[in-house]
Amino acid sequence: MKQLITLITTLLLATVSVSSDAYENACKQFNGQIQIFRPQGLKIAAKHVSRNLLSIEVEVYINQEQRSNPTCDICANATVTGGRRKRFQIYHPSIVVLPGDRFQYTVTKRYRNGPPRQLSCEFRVNGERMLFSRPTQTRSCEENISTKNKGRQLNYIAEKRLLEETINEMLSSCEAADTTSMLILSGDYADMELTNELKSFIINRLRSHLPSVDWHGEVEDVYRTNGRLVFTVKTTLMKLKVLHLVRGTAVEAIVTDYDKQDRTTYDHEDYFDEDYGEPEIRTVKMSGKIRLLATIALMWLVAASCLLESVDARKSRGSSKRSSRRPKGVNIEIYHPKGVMVWYPYRSGMELFGIEIFINKANQQTGDSSEEDSTPPVCDICLNTTEVSYGKFILRSENAVIRNRDHVYYNAIVKKANGKAYISRSNEFYVSESRILLGDVTGTASACGGNTAVANLSDNDKRLANEIKLLEEILLEVNDQCHAGEQNRTKQLLLSAETPTRYDAKQLYQYVEEQLAQKLPTIDWNRTLVEAFYATDGIGFEVATTIDKLKVLKLAKALPQQPITDLDSFQTEDMTNDIDSWM
């Protein structure tokens, strides 16, 4: 009965909120087809589009919200090709899109029948969701780089439980997140009357499409409403798992989220040919091996389709003049085994940006009077540019090598038109393992040659590892839903602690690592902690990924006196960099 009331309420709510959500979801859907690569390159591709779709025109604008007459950085027309399964692809190998960039685009779809449709969307690029040009090899490198530190084995079971608890906690605490466990199944069941009959129909059908799930234990209530077959699974988390598993496959059109059913009203036919949903769809019995491969391919699809953190579905480009928060200051990316890329966002009036990097040698030239005669150190990496590419100054040194545990000092040089060069000194950071990117800064080769040795996992661990990957995707998505529209989220946390004296970047990093390892020993801090910095009321620190942050916060709840908290809930200003105060 309670279920039924929920069902009816949701139904009513769903019909009211159709149109604005639909546009936003259309943006989300299209966003999922955009892949941004490190260190450069962009691909827009879709595998199933409507047979009615003829061509697609895409205009992409990077960081052009301030420009009075923006010109598209990518202006491309793609024709839809393919036989029964139509697809299109746009590939731009040289565009440089970087974390924090404002990505705006307009898509025009032309159809065989009917008027064209246009969609304008924008989002801020999230570095975490960017891909390397060679993803599989990157993974094996990752294993490689840390084998020397590999005293600990990941405890997959504990990891999985932690993720599930974190997701469940978030689902129950966050209003914006999905809360029902209802799904819709399409198919031919018109002549069935009995609930039991419907239930076994659902179970059989689901089993044929998703054999990995124990459907008997999962499917609970079954309803027929508005000509749709609705069923609930045991938990909301289970529902999210199912939805993630089917994403990017033909089953996506058969099993859909009850909470999102209105999405299809906007452009259903662009993504799902009606006939994908019909019973004649061929479900070849897969052998175990093929099934495994399919699952792996699926995981990649899932990973590839979630590039974006917050999606603002604004109807027209440039309609919002609200200042968007950009990553402040100087960005330095270190690649393994070599290569350094530095960039700085363009601001109007800026004419030059430069960098002087000193590796393991302090560059402080405190006051010009005292030590005139002592020769200052020479920078190891010294670069300037006046060229603005895609809304930023980009500097690259392909052969520069910065290693794990180096102590880096740098001067950033900024020059305004008709002004003097301003040099911001005494910036420094410690190179933690988690700060290093695995890939080639030129984008032409991969970091680790053909070496594909991956740690030997038992089948059970492999299965758990896949499930963990899936849970991480779900956690990120729920987290995004929960904090939609908050522009100020970082990967920073606050540790309540005080150093005996003022430490430099390296000392502070090591101090914080030690403190954290004492408090939360199950976390591999060498791979998690990116940097530490002084903050009001303690020491701020940044972790490698949003998942890491959520896990740390979850684990920290159990600690006495709450020594670790989310820095986003206090801090308004990013204090890791001072160059902005001059700009």
Ligand X SMILES: *[C@@H]1O[C@H](CO)[C@@H](O)[C@H](O)[C@H]1NC(C)=O
Binding site for ligand X (CB under 6 A): 57, 75-77, 141, 144-145, 149, 151, 337, 354, 382, 384, 405, 413, 415, 421, 447-448, 451, 456, 486, 488, 524, 526, 571-572
Short-list 467, 473, 476, 350, CA closest to 413? 350
Q: How far is CA 277 from CA 231, 284, 285, 393, 398, in A?
A: 17, 16, 18, 48, 50
Nearer to ligand X, 75 or 176 (CB): 75
Minimum distance from CB of 13 to ligand X (Å)?
24
Nearer to ligand X, 145 or 556 (CB): 145
Asked whether the bond before 563 is cis by omega within 30 degrees of 0, the reply is no
Minimum distance from CB of 223 to ligand X (Å)?
37
Nearer to ligand X, 6 or 146 (CB): 146
Nearer to ligand X, 76 or 555 (CB): 76
Minimum distance from CB of 75 to ligand X (Å)?
5
10 Å CB burial of residue 48 (0-12, 13-18, 19+) is: buried
Residue 490 identity (one-letter amino acid): T
Nearer to ligand X, 122 or 259 (CB): 122
CA–CA dist 254, 209 (Å, integer): 9
Minimum distance from CB of 140 to ligand X (Å)?
8
Nearer to ligand X, 25 or 397 (CB): 397
Nearer to ligand X, 232 or 515 (CB): 515
Minimum distance from CB of 546 to ligand X (Å)?
15
Minimum distance from CB of 506 to ligand X (Å)?
10
Contact 394, 341 (CB under 8 A): yes
Nearer to ligand X, 337 or 563 (CB): 337
Q: How many residues does the chain have?
A: 583
Task: Find the residue with minimal CB distance to ligand X.
Answer: 149
Minimum distance from CB of 467 to ligand X (Å)?
21
Helix count and strand count (H, E) for the chain: 13, 26
Q: For residue 58, what is the enclosing H or E element?
A: strand 53-62
All residues at 6 or more sequence positions from 347 whose CB lies less than 8 Å from its CB, including other chains: 583
Bridging pattern class, strands 117-125 and 102-111: antiparallel
Asked whether the bond before 377 is cis by omega within 30 degrees of 0, the reply is no
Bridging pattern class, strands 392-397 and 228-233: unpaired
Nearer to ligand X, 215 or 429 (CB): 429
CA–CA dist 438, 459 (Å, integer): 27
Minimum distance from CB of 217 to ligand X (Å)?
32
Minimum distance from CB of 58 to ligand X (Å)?
9
Minimum distance from CB of 204 to ligand X (Å)?
37
DSSP string across 273-325: -GGGGSTT---PPPPHHHHHHHHHHHHHHHHHT--EEEEE--SSTT---PPPP
Contact 513, 530 (CB under 8 A): no
Nearer to ligand X, 19 or 149 (CB): 149
Contact 341, 395 (CB under 8 A): yes
Locus of tokens 């259903």: 268
